[in-house]
Amino acid sequence: MSLSAQLAGAIHASTETDAGFAVTSSGLSKRFGGGQLAVDQIDLAVPAGSVYGFLGPNGSGKTTTIRMLLGLIRPTAGSHAMLGLPMPGRQADALPLVGSLVEGPAFYPHLSGRANLTRLDAADATADAATARRRIDAALARVGLLGAADKRYKAYSLGMKQRLGIATSLLRPRQLVILDEPTNGLDPQGTREVRALIRQIAADGTTVFVSSHLLAEVEQVCTHVGVMRAGRLVYQGSLAQLRGQAGLLVRTPKPELAAQVLAELGLAGIRQGDGADQEVTAELGAMLPEVICERLVLAGVPVAGLETPRRSLEDEFVELTGEGFDVD
C-alpha cells in the first residue's frame, strides 16, 4: 500500500505545475449531515486523455465524489479543479465541456427519449439551438437508441434508460465525460457496447472518468485506475503499474542461501517457505529475472525453478478493497 500511496503522491505533486490533468483534487472531503465521513481527503489526479476507472465497493464514496466534482454538493474540505478550472468558482465555464451521468439515468417519464434530450439541450445556455436536432440524433445514434427515440421514457427498458443517460453526456463534444456506473442494469451484450462506446469516446481525445464496483467491467478499457475504500483513495495509478507489481519465486534445495543472495540484491519482501516446500519468494521490483538467476547460480544456489508470478488484477483489487461482503 505504501507504494501506491507514494505513486498517488507523486502524481498529485506534479498537478500544480503540470496542465495535463482533466481532474485534480486535493484533500477533497465530504462529511454528511449525519456526521458520516463519506469521502476522506482524496487527492485525485486524472490524466488528460486517460480512461480512468474509479473503483470501489458499494458505499465507498464514488458517487459522492462525482457529485462533488460536478458541483452538485459542496465539499466539507479540500478543493478541486476540472479541465484546469477551479471548481465551483469556474463551473459555468467548465461544465459545458463535461458530459456526465450521475447515479443512474433520470428523465421525465411522459416525454420521449428525444424530447428528454431536447429539454436538457435547451437548458444549456451555450448550446446552439440551430444544430440541436442533428446533435441529439447523433447522440441517440451513438448509443443505439435512434429506433426508440420517440418512445416514451417510461416505456424504456432498464438498458434503454441507461443508454439514454449516456447519450446526455454526448450531446456536445466534450473534453471530459464522467460516467457513474454506466453498465448498471445492462446485459452482457449491453456492457460490451458501453465498453466499446467508452473506447470510442476516448479515441476522440476525450478523457473518460468511469466509476464501477467491478474491476472486470472496466479493466479492458481503462488506462488508469483509482481505488476507493471506505471513503479513502487507497490506490491511484496506471493500470500497468497496478498490474506490474510482479513477484519472484525461487525453488531451490538451499533456501537460506538463496534468501541471502536476494537480500544482497536489495529485493524487498523476502520470505522463505516453511519446511518442506523449498521456496523463496520476494517482490521483483525493477530487477530483471535473468539477472537474479545469474547471481543465484554464481553464488552457488542450485536453482530448481524460477518464476515471476503476476498476481491477477482481481487479487490486487480485492486486497485493496477488502474481501468482506459487508459494507464498511
Partner 1 sequence: MSIEQGDRALPQAAGGAVAVRPRLDWPDEPRLAQRNPVSAWLRFFASEIRLVFGRPRNLALLGVLGFVPVFFGVVFRLTISSVDGGGGPPFLNQLAGNGVFLALVVLTVMLTVLLLPLSAAVVSGDAIAGEAALGTLRGLLTVPAGRTRLLAVKYAAIVVFSLAACLLVAAMSLVMGLILFHVGQVTLLSGTTVSLGAGVLRVLAVAVFAAAAMASLSAIGLAASTLTQHPVGAIAGVLIVTVASEICDQVPQLSAIHAYLPTHYWLSWDGLFRSPTDWSGVEHGLVSFAVYAVIFGSIAWAKLTSADVSS
Ligand X SMILES: Nc1ncnc2c1ncn2[C@@H]1O[C@H](COP(=O)(O)OP(=O)(O)OP(=O)(O)O)[C@@H](O)[C@H]1O
Chain residues that interact with ligand X, rule: CB under 6 A = 32, 34, 36, 38, 56, 58-64, 213
Residue whose Cβ sits closest to Mg ion:
63
Identity of the residue, 36 or 220, whose beta carbon is nearer to ligand X in the bound complex? 36
Residues in 97-116 that interact with partner 1 by CB under 8 A: 97-98, 100, 102-104, 106-111
Cβ contact 283:265 at 8 Å: no
Identity of the residue, 103 or 137, whose beta carbon is nearer to partner 1 in the bound complex? 103
DSSP assigned state of 175: S
CA distances (Å), origin 271, targets 248, 278, 302? 10, 11, 18
Peptide bond into 253 cis (omega under 30): no
The full DSSP string for 21-34 is EEEEEEEEEEE-TT
Paired residues of 28 in beta bridges:
42
292 binds, among ligand X, Mg ion, partner 1, none (CB under 5 to 8 A by kind): none
d(CA 165, CA 259): 56
Alpha helices (H) along the chain: 2-13, 62-69, 91-94, 113-123, 132-142, 158-168, 188-203, 215-219, 239-243, 255-264, 289-298, 313-321
The CB-of-276 to partner 1 minimum distance in angstroms stands at 44
d(CA 196, CA 289): 36
Buried b (16+ CB within 10 A) or exposed e, 151-168: ebbeebeebbbbbbbbbb
The CB-of-185 to ligand X minimum distance in angstroms stands at 13
* Candidate segments 42-50, 227-235, 246-254, 256-264, binder of partner 1 by CB under 8 A: 42-50
Q: Please report how the helices 188-203 and 158-168 are oriented relative to each other, as an axis angle in degrees rounded to 10.
A: 10
Q: Does 44 sit near partner 1 (CB under 8 A)?
A: no
Q: Does 9 sit near partner 1 (CB under 8 A)?
A: no
Identity of the residue, 115 or 299, whose beta carbon is nearer to partner 1 in the bound complex? 115
Binding mask 219-248 for partner 1 (x = CB under 8 A): ----xx-------------x----------
The full DSSP string for 263-283 is HHTT-SS-EEPPTTS-EEEEE
299 binds, among ligand X, Mg ion, partner 1, none (CB under 5 to 8 A by kind): none
DSSP assigned state of 152: B
Of 128, 256, 314, 328, the one binding partner 1 (CB under 8 A) is 128
213 binds, among Mg ion, partner 1, ligand X, none (CB under 5 to 8 A by kind): ligand X
The CB-of-223 to ligand X minimum distance in angstroms stands at 21
Amino acid code (one letter) for 103: E
* Candidate segments 122-130, 143-151, 212-220, 277-285, binder of partner 1 by CB under 8 A: 122-130
Q: Does 297 sit near partner 1 (CB under 8 A)?
A: no
Residues in 39-68 that interact with Mg ion by CB under 5 A: 63
Residue ranges in contact with Mg ion by CB under 5 A:
63
Task: List residues near partner 1 by CB under 8 A.
Answer: 17, 19-20, 22, 47-51, 64, 67, 70-74, 83-85, 91-98, 100, 102-104, 106-111, 118-120, 122-131, 135, 168, 172-173, 175, 202, 205, 207, 223-224, 238
